[in-house]
Amino acid sequence: MSYIDLNYKPSENDLICRFFVEPEGNSAIEKACENIAAESSIGTWTELSTMESEIYERLGPHVFEIDTASGEVLIAYPSDLFEPGNIPEILSSIAGNIFGMKAVENLRLLDVEFPEKLARSFLGPRFGISGVREVLGVFDRPLVGTIIKPKLGLNSEKHAHVAYESWVGGCDIVKDDENLTNQDFNPFRERILKTLGMRNKAEEETGEKKIYMPNISAETEEMLERAEFVKENGGRYVMVDIVTVGFSALQTLRKENLGMVIHAHRAMHAAFTRNKKHGISMLVLAKLSRLIGVDQLHIGTAVGKMEGPREEVVEIKNAIVGDWYGLKNTFPVSSGGLHPGMIPALVEIMGEDVIIQAGGGVHGHSNGTKAGAMAMRQALNAAMQAIPLEEYAEKNPELKAALDKWGKP
């Protein structure tokens, strides 16, 4: 009973996985492929008395391409293997036990092509890029956001004050950091009330729409209650740590559909996405996130404090913004070690449809948060008008101070 068929032509109902495969020891890649295909679908390590040829014919996967030079392998799985609308089930098949098999030394799920039938069993984003732009009323430039810093430690009042300074300085968006939820030094409900209050004030003063993205990550029911609380108090957004919260709860949040934009932070992803030979690619995580329906997703910066090369970030961006069976798209977010000096390069890489977030790059400004936010917006203005930052900085002292502190990479 073999799963390798290099003459197989995938059908439109197949789900196709691209793996990098490094077989154990000196064994052939074909042997590893047989093991991967079996374990991720209908088989196991030994012949079964309970197997039926009809099952093998109807549900058996097909390894239809093996590139021995690169170690890249394509496997087609009939979509009937999977439960529609159930991300955990799909991952337990194509990204489950196989990573722990002795038959492989390393194994990486590089990409997944979902058949339309399966893709459309998910909700996808409710807002997408155009919906987010409608909420903000900003249509012709990247959005600028900040993360309140220090990540942890400010009390609710100070948190709200720093948010206010960020908004009036020019940020569209203020978000909590990934590890701030409901700690004693800054309780969730108090923070929401105070920060949304300051948002209203900032909107009045600037005449711009302003966004607060509170981190609601928690046990599912608690998370939903927090989302309800945000909504009741005039919030339009929630943010969630999609990896540490997990796929079932993320699906629940989207399903409950509270009418708020969902911002997805990816803390912990690099535990399994970073090694180029093993684990799961960020591209796959991004596709899953769009299927489930997050409206905004951190995908990397190509510049900044986090690793992730430019080509990879662009590939992920294209996957979440392009057409995909009529699903709405997801707004790419670049965040992590950014500062004003990086904005032109970032806009050049990402285009206009990107949310640029800087935490340290705003609150680390020599003249404080408001000046930092002003510098970010100034850098964006310069980039949009194709004016060199140094030139634009001549008449914009906040930008000048930022460039003086952090330079231009």
Closest approach, Cβ 331 to a second copy, in A, equals 20
Look at residue 332 and give its three-state secondary structure: strand
DSSP code at position 63: E
Torsional sign, CA 282, 283, 287, 288:
negative
Residues 89-118 interacting with a second copy (rule: CB under 8 A): 89, 91-93, 95-97, 99-103, 109
Q: Is 407 in the site for a second copy (CB under 8 A)?
A: no
161 is a catalytic site residue:
no
26 touches a second copy (CB under 8 A): no
Q: Cα separation of 315 and 4, whole Å?
A: 29
Quick one: 183 or 318, whose CB is closer to a second copy? 183
Dist CA 7 CA 21 (whole Å): 20
Return the range that interacts with a second copy (CB under 8 A); candidates 205-213, 270-278, 342-350, 375-383.
270-278
Residue 183 within binding range of a second copy, rule CB under 8 A: yes
CB of 133 to a second copy, least distance (A): 27
Q: Is 267 in the site for a second copy (CB under 8 A)?
A: yes
* Cα distances (Å, whole numbers) of residue 138 to 173, 208, 261, 301: 12, 9, 15, 22
Among 12, 47, 204, 311, binds a second copy (CB under 8 A): 47
Tell me, what amino acid is at 327? L
> How many residues comprise the chain?
409
Which residues within the stretch 225-264 sit at the binding site for a second copy (CB under 8 A)?
241, 244-252, 255
* From candidates 131, 197, 368, 397, binder to a second copy by CB under 8 A: 368
What does DSSP assign to residue 340? G
Q: Of 12, 140, 184, 204, which lies in the binding site for a second copy, with binding defined by CB under 8 A?
A: 184
Stretch that binds a second copy, among 124-132, 177-185, 190-198, 199-207 (CB under 8 A): 177-185
Half-sphere CA count of 231, side-chain side, radius 13 A: 13
Site for a second copy in 319-358 (CB under 8 A): 336-337, 339
CB of 244 to a second copy, least distance (A): 4
Residue 57 CB-half CA count within 13 A: 3
Which stretch, 67-75, 80-88, 130-138, 374-382, contacts a second copy (CB under 8 A)? 80-88
Residue 150 in contact with a second copy, rule: CB under 8 A: yes
Name the 3-class secondary structure at 382. Answer: helix
151 counts as binding a second copy under rule CB under 8 A = yes
The question of whether 328 is a catalytic residue gets the answer no
Question: Cα–Cα–Cα angle for 301, 202, 145, nearest 5°?
Answer: 5
Nearest residue to 229 (alpha-carbon basis) of 178, 180, 193: 193
Please give the radius of gyration of the chain, using alpha carbons only, rounded to the nearest integer: 23
Q: What is the nearest approach in angstroms of a second copy to the Cβ of residue 361?
A: 7
CB 387, min distance to a second copy, A: 25
Query: Does a cis peptide bond (omega within 30 degrees of 0) precede residue 142?
Result: no
Which string of b and e fits 143-155 if b means at least 16 CB within 10 Å?
bbbbbbbeeeebe
- Which listed residue (62, 149, 317, 400) is catalytic? 149
Binding mask 203-222 for a second copy (x = CB under 8 A): --------------xxxxxx
Name 223's Cβ contacts closer than 8 Å, sequence gap at least 6: 216, 217, 240, 245, 249, 253
Residue ranges in 276-305 that form contacts with a second copy under rule CB under 8 A: 278-280, 305
> In angstroms, what is the minimal distance from the CB of 237 to a second copy?
18
- Asked whether position 179 contacts a second copy by CB under 8 A, the answer is yes
- Choosing from 175, 263, 265, 400, the catalytic residue is 265
Active site residues: 149, 265
